[in-house]
Amino acid sequence: MGTHPLGLSIRNISKKYANGVQALHNVTLNVPPGMYGLLGPNGAGKSTLMRTLATLQEPDEGQVFLGDIDVINQKDAVRQTLGYLPQEFGVYPKASAEELLDYFAVLKGLTQRAERRATTEALLRQTNLWDKRKQKLGGYSGGMRQRFGVAVALLGNPKLLIVDEPTAGLDPAERVRFLNLLSELGENSVVILSTHIVEDVSELCTNMAIINQGRILLEAQPLAAVASLRGRIWRQLTDKQALPALEQEHHVISAKLLSGRTLVHVHSPDRPGPRFEPVEPDLEDVYFSAMTGCFAPANQQPNQEE
Q: Are residues 90 and 72 in the same domain?
A: yes
Whole-angstrom Cα distance, residue 45 to residue 297? 25
Count of beta carbons in the 10 Å neighbourhood of residue 197: 16
The pLDDT of 281-293, averaged and rounded, is 94
Q: What is the mean pLDDT of residues 42-47?
A: 91
pLDDT in tens, 179-236: 888 888 767 789 999 999 999 898 889 999 999 999 999 999 999 999 999 999 999 9
How many angstroms separate the CA atoms of 76 and 81, rounded?
Answer: 9
Residue 136, pLDDT > 50, answer yes
Same domain, 235 and 133: no
pLDDT value at position 89?
67
CA distance from start to end of the chain: 25
Residue 301 lies in a domain: no
- pTM reported for the whole predicted model: 0.86
Higher pLDDT, 107 or 187: 107
- Rounded to the nearest 5°, which phi and psi values hold at 42? -60, 135
Nearest CA-CA partner of 166 in 144, 187, 139: 144
Tell whether 284 is covered by a domain.
no
User: How much is the pLDDT for 301?
Assistant: 41
pLDDT in tens, 89-98: 667 888 999 9
| Domain tally, the chain | 2
Reported as a single tens digit per residue, the pLDDT across 160-181 is 999 888 887 788 888 888 888 8
Q: Are residues 122 and 248 in the same domain?
A: no
Q: What average pLDDT score do residues 21-34 get?
A: 94
The full 3-state SS of 257-285, as one line of letters, equals EECCEEEEEEECCCCCCCCCEECCCCHHH
Let me know whether 195 and 245 are in one domain.
no
Structural domain contains residue 155: yes
Together in a domain, 42 and 97: yes
Tell me the CATH number at 112. 3.40.50.300
Residue count of the chain, please give it: 306
More confident residue, 177 or 295: 177
Tell me: pLDDT of 34 over 50: yes
Instruction: Place 1 in a pLDDT band, splitting at 50, 70 and 90.
Output: very low
In a domain, 51, yes or no: yes
Task: With both helix axes pointing from N to C terminus, report the angle between 97-107 and 113-126 in degrees, rounded to the nearest 10.
Answer: 120
| Average pLDDT of the segment spanning 116-145 | 92
Q: Are 216 and 249 contained in the same domain? A: no
Contacts 24+ apart (CB under 8 A), 80-83: 80/156, 81/156, 81/157, 81/158, 81/159, 81/160, 82/54, 82/55, 82/158, 82/160, 82/161, 82/162, 83/150, 83/152, 83/153, 83/154, 83/155, 83/156, 83/158, 83/160, 83/161, 83/162
Residue 88 in this model has a pLDDT that exceeds 60: yes
Query: Is 286 a member of any domain?
Result: no
Closest Cα partner for 199 from 219, 170, 227, 228?
170
- Higher-confidence residue: 46 or 179? 46
Which residue(s) pair with 22 in the sheet? 16
Boundaries of domain holding 54: 8-225
Pick from 201, 225, 249: which residue ends a domain?
A: 225
Alpha-carbon separation of residue 203 from 36, 117, 188 (angstroms): 11, 34, 19
CB 178 within 8 A of CB 143: yes
Specify the pLDDT at position 285.
Answer: 96
* Domain match, 210 and 74 both: yes
Task: Place 5 in a pLDDT band, splitting at 50, 70 and 90.
Answer: low
Q: Are residues 153 and 238 in the same domain?
A: no
Whether residues 75 and 209 share a domain: the answer is yes
HEC readout, 133-189: CCCEHHHCCHHHHHHHHHHHHCCCCCCEEEEECCCCCCCHHHHHHHHHHHHHHCCCC
Same domain, 178 and 208: yes
The answer to whether residue 26 sits within a structural domain is yes
pLDDT confidence of residue 123: 93
Mean per-residue pLDDT, 74-91: 84
Count the Cβ atoms, other than its own, within 10 Å of residue 17: 11
Question: Are 114 and 142 members of one domain?
Answer: yes
**Is the pLDDT at 305 greater than 60, yes or no?**
no
Whole-angstrom Cα distance, residue 91 to residue 183?
Answer: 24
- Work out the percent of the chain whose per-residue pLDDT is above 90: 66
State pLDDT tens for residues 221-259. 999 999 999 999 999 999 989 999 999 999 999 999 988
